[in-house]
Each structure stands twice: as structure tokens, then as C-alpha cells.
Amino acid sequence: MEKNFGEFLQKMNLHEYKREKLKELNPNEEKGIYREDKLNKILKNIFPKVSEHIPQSVLEFYYYNCEGIGDLNWGCAWRCIQTMIATIRNILADKNILNNYQKLKNFNLCFKNMFMKYGSKEVLEKLFLKSYGKSEIPLYLKERIYAPFDTSTGWAEPFFAKLILSDFGFDGELFLLNSYSKKSYAPIEVFSKTIVYREFKEILISHFQYNPYSTPIIFDDSTATLCIIGASINQENNDNLNLLIADPHVRFNDSGDSGIYSVILNKDGNFTYELNPQKTICGRIIKFEEKPFMIYIPKINQIISYKIKDKLKSQFNSDIILVEQRIREDLDNTIKNATQNLVQKLLDLFISDKTPKCIRCKIGISGIYYSCCY
């Protein structure tokens, strides 16, 4: 029995070394990244509708063979990580705090650059120490074959998403749904916990409904990796859940398939053809009740909230100072005007013909004294 699926594939020599296959596509084969304009058109026709999802203005979707690199049949997790990073970068830009993350701002997100930068075990081990707060690489990782440069598939996994996001200054939670799959490259020790579908459903609803800066959630059954980009309770049956999926498994011969679609999960968290007669690509793998899944959720909401809070606090302090200055100026002007008006009224009173002369002469207005007071 081999230690993991990667070693088995290596010994059986079933796949070519994928680093050799980072080939550029012909212009007529190249497909573009989905951004706001195209996403608006796609989401108009999505059914069932998912009421809570990542806004099209910040979502950026990568899939097989887009941006000129051929990764058909092996690059799905890398494409999900691209989708996640690009969307996070767009959210930070939208909130005017991207300048606080210069490494992310200036990073070239193209597939080839990301694969070559984060494909080696040496780089991933350094990121592991940073992400997990370790002083040395534990034995369970040191002896394991998991890095894309060392495997025959070149695959990534949600574990890599956690490591790569840590390089840009973000934390996140990597956990298991139901159980651990022995097909996984990542060792079981790197996962924080194991949960069941009921808990995962609550996490999904909370993430998209109550989180103002929701990000893609990556899930992987050790054969295919997809992104969840929206989730809401089904209106016809509250036990069911609507998910909006960004599926990178888009092929050239899948005419009309955008990779963005919604699915309905039954009360147990499973995809059924009865509930989903429409065509999906890999949506059928969603069996959250029983299958083992690896899941990664980045934590940027708290960071963004703190940054915005600091910015608002600074702006608030500036506004307070400005208001105080204006109050002082208004008060000074009010006192000045009131004093002038009072003096003028007194003068008008004292020099009026209706004022008794004795009063007028006693105060000596204009130095004139009247005989009535002598």
C-alpha cells in the first residue's frame, strides 16, 4: 500500500510530468477570463437563483485553458486558487486598502508564474512554517511527496491555497468534511478539524449571507476542485440549499458551458438529478453527506473590517477637529454679532428722542450734557 496517491501515480507512470506541459495555446484556442461584463450576462440566466453571492464587480473567474495556458485535465485547483486570489485582490481594491498589500497588488497572477513560483517543496515548506507558526518542518510533511514539482500530476489542493494566501498576509481555515481521503496529497495533520454537512451548511449561509466581503470557498474531493461563490436557502423547500458554483472544468467541446451554474442540494447536502435536470459540469460530485472533502475558506473579513475601522476612525477624528473649528468660528461670529447688535440697540435707545434727557446727559453721549441734569 503506497503512502499516498501521488506516489502511486509516480510508480505507475500514468501521467507525464506536468511542469513540461505548461504550453502556450494558439490564439484561436485561447479563452478569456470572466470579469464583470461577462458575469452579468451569465448570472442573468442562472436558475435557480442564488440570492447571496459574491458581487460580479469583484469576482474574477479562471478556468481550463484560459489566459493562453493549456492545463486541461489537471489544473482545476490552480484555477480555483487564481479565482480566489483575484477576487480577494479586487475586494481590497474596491475597499481602497489594496495599497496595504503591495505583494498581492504587484503579483503576476498568470497560471505559469503562479505554478513556477509555488510548485516546489522548498517554497511550500517555507510557507508552511509561516502559515502554521512552526519552527521546523514536522516529519509528517518532510517525508511526504506532495509538491507539484515532485508529483506526476502537477495538481494543487486546498492546502496549497492556504499556503499561498499566507504569502500575501492572509490566514484561513483548512478543514475536512466527513473524513480524510487517502488520495489527498496533503497529510491529515494539516487540517484543523473534521465537520459534518449540517455544520458546513451553517458555515456557508453565514459566509455569504452575513459576511459583507465574502470570498470564494474552495472544495476538493481529491479528484476535482471547484469554488462555491454563493449560497442561499432554497425558497421552495427550506431544507434544501442553493449553491452558486464556479467550475473550472470548462472544455473546448463544452459548447455554451460557462462554468458558472447553480445547483440545488437536498436536505442531506447531496446533488441529485431530480433536483438538477439542467446540465452541470462537475456539480454531480457534490455529495456533502458522505464523501470526503477538503475545504479552504480565507479569512479576510476581519482584516478588512479592522482596516476600514481604522480608516473611519482616522476620518472621524479629522472630522471632529474640523467640526470643533467650525463650532468655534460660528460661536465667535455669533458672540461678535450679538455684541454688536446689543451695543447698537443700546445706542439706538440712548440717543432716541424718546429717551429722557436726564438719562441722556448722565451717560454723556457724545460729550453733550443737557441742562435738565444740572
Residues 291 and 332 in one domain: no
In a 10 Å sphere around its CB, with 0-12 CB exposed, 13-18 middle and 19+ buried, how is residue 250 labelled? buried
Examine residue 310 and state whether it is found in any structural domain, yes or no. Answer: no
**What per-residue confidence (pLDDT) applies to 212?**
72
Q: Is residue 24 part of a domain?
A: yes
> Do 69 and 33 contact (CB within 8 A), yes or no?
no
pLDDT category at 354 given cuts 50, 70, 90 is low
Which pLDDT value is given to residue 295? 98
Asked whether residue 100 falls in the same domain as residue 19, the answer is: yes
Say what the pLDDT of residue 150 is: 93
CATH number for the domain spanning 235: value is 3.90.70.130
Q: What is the DSSP letter of 69?
A: B
Q: Higher confidence at residue 48 or residue 2? A: 48
Does position 182 have pLDDT exceeding 60, yes or no?
yes
Whether 99 maps to a domain, the answer reads yes
Residue 1 has pLDDT above 50, yes or no: no
The answer as to whether 62 is a domain residue is yes
Point out the domain boundary residue: 248, 265, 299: 299
Residues 42 and 179 in one domain: yes
How much of the chain exceeds pLDDT 90, in percent? Answer: 58
- Report, as an integer, the average pLDDT of 190-198: 97
| Shared domain check, 335 and 294 | no
Give the total number of structural domains in the chain.
2
**Domain co-membership, 195 together with 332:** no
pLDDT digits (tens, 9 = 90+) for 208-231: 988 777 999 999 999 999 999 999
pLDDT in tens, 246-261: 999 987 554 567 899 9
Same domain membership, residue 129 and residue 275: yes
**369 lies in which domain range?**
322-373
In the sheet that holds 293-299, the strands lie side by side as 194-195, 171-177, 293-299, 217-220, 225-233, 241-246, 260-265
Residue 361 clears pLDDT 60, i.e. is over it: no
- Provide mean pLDDT across the span 362-369: 49
- Check whether 311 has a pLDDT greater than 70: no
- Is the peptide bond preceding residue 216 cis, with omega within 30 degrees of 0? no
What would the grid cell of residue 263 be?
445547483
User: Is 362 found in the same domain as 239?
Assistant: no
Q: Are 295 and 279 in contact (CB under 8 A)?
A: no
Residue pair 42/258 in contact by the 8 Å Cβ criterion: yes
